[in-house]
Amino acid sequence: MEVFHGSPLKAPAVEIVDLSSEHGVDDEKRDLERDDASSPETDNGEDDDHLSLYEDMLDSMPEHAEWEDAPVDVCTVDESFSFRKRLRLVGEDQFITETIEIGAITAKKLCTAFGIRPPPFLEGQPDFKYFPLLGLGITRELSKRIKLPQYNTIDDAVHLLNKSKNIIVLTGAGISTSLGIPDFRSKETGLYSQLEHLGLSDPQEVFDITIFREDPSIFYSVAKDILPSTRKFSPTHAFIKLLQDKEKLLTNFTQNIDNLESYAGILPEKLIQCHGSFATATCVECGYRVKCEEIYKDLKAGRVARCDRCIRNMRLKPFGIKRKRSTNGLSTSKKKRQSYEDSTDDEDYDIAVAGVMKPDITFFGEDLPATFHDRLTKHDKDLVDLVIVIGTSLKVAPVSEVSGFLPPETPQIYISREPCQHVDFDIDMLGECDTIVTELCRRAGWDLKHEMIKEDDVDVQLHEGYESRYSFRITSA
């Protein structure tokens, strides 16, 4: 029986894993290697740091076609295709024997066959220094789904929309940016790029559950920037609702926390909010849950919200009685008092403090809802006949692993501003999500209605060097 290998924990960056034994890789061996690499007891700290650096680097590598002026010896497109095809045909061990071990090609150059540009810090190093990077590239290649050659054109995409009856739509922040809600990873406008002033080693720490427990004021200081200020939804949300109305929507897996899918009318039984939402908030101390509207004033003011029930219970206690300081779910060992906590001269005891209210969004380090795994593995996997990924770079596990987990014969379409470098979709459509779905509906003969849709002409161009990657651009207002 096949299982979903992805961790239930939300984790940053693309996790390079093998999702299917059909790719010819020994699953058990790979699992053991992954466990060894992540073991906290290893003595190879420096090597682990390098591997982590390499994994991060894979996610930001440019397309092979962009290296024409690169001062490195790179494989041609034809050579890269041949190497990748040979790897899948003979397997990893035989491939290494035929290439590296007999000296047919250097590891440095072979890296480029898998879309990896040799990093400057390895320049001048012995060739074996490139082995870890090459290994990660090979692992990533074997984890990829294989593009279906029969789907390449926009007409193919329209045909798939019309004939499919069980469509999975996987969405990210890109479907809400037209409403003024920032995405996370855009270089200049994304939320992470605007958080340098917080002094964090990684802006993703804003959504780290450990950091939140230690100092919730960090999250609350930026919550207003991601809090949905309106119940308006975008044309892309309306497109997903249209799929539902046409009885074509199997499931909308959304990584968004703005809850706009619900406002658009996506039925609860069709919606999996993989990373939770701002619909509700829960006290980390007593578990009291409220609608998030009740703490909106605090969220918008950047003020840590406290639990009303905790406050009411504190008022019932005799005045002046002290108890051990609330840890909001942490261990009872003494910790540094944070700026948002009340203080007294007593180092070990404090006036009772009400628990912090945490919006029910999934932080890094928290389990995704059980419904995510159950819906995907026990229901959708055997029914899905088309996958549409919209507005996400697929950089967060385990949602990033969904594409590779689904049956390889299921066609997959990608819609976003920038291409996804680590997944081979059958058709890539690049541009504003609203523009693309509106044009697809027009070509399909569907009546997509939304106040933001205008009668614009859309120019569609095939990317040079690609057979199934297109750009969509409005040419008239």
The catalytic residue positions are: 275
* Residues 128, 444 contacting (CB under 8 angstroms): no
How far is it, in rounded angstroms, from Cα 173 to Cα 27?
Answer: 32
From the list 245, 247, 277, the residue with the least C-alpha distance to 171 is 277
Q: In the structure encoding, which two tokens stand for residue 44, read together?
A: 């190879």
How far is it, in rounded angstroms, from Cα 434 to Cα 178?
Answer: 8
* Residues 283, 310 contacting (CB under 8 angstroms): yes
How far is it, in rounded angstroms, from Cα 401 to Cα 394?
Answer: 8
CA angle 74, 79, 81 (to 5 degrees): 115
Give me the sign of the Cα torsion angle 256, 257, 258, 260: positive
- 63: helix, coil or strand? coil
E strands in 217-356: 249-254, 271-273, 276-283, 289-291, 323-324, 349-350
Cα Rg of the chain (Å, integer): 25
Torsion, Cα 132 134 139 142, to 10 degrees, reads -170
How far is it, in rounded angstroms, from Cα 449 to Cα 381?
Answer: 31
How far is it, in rounded angstroms, from Cα 348 to Cα 86?
Answer: 65
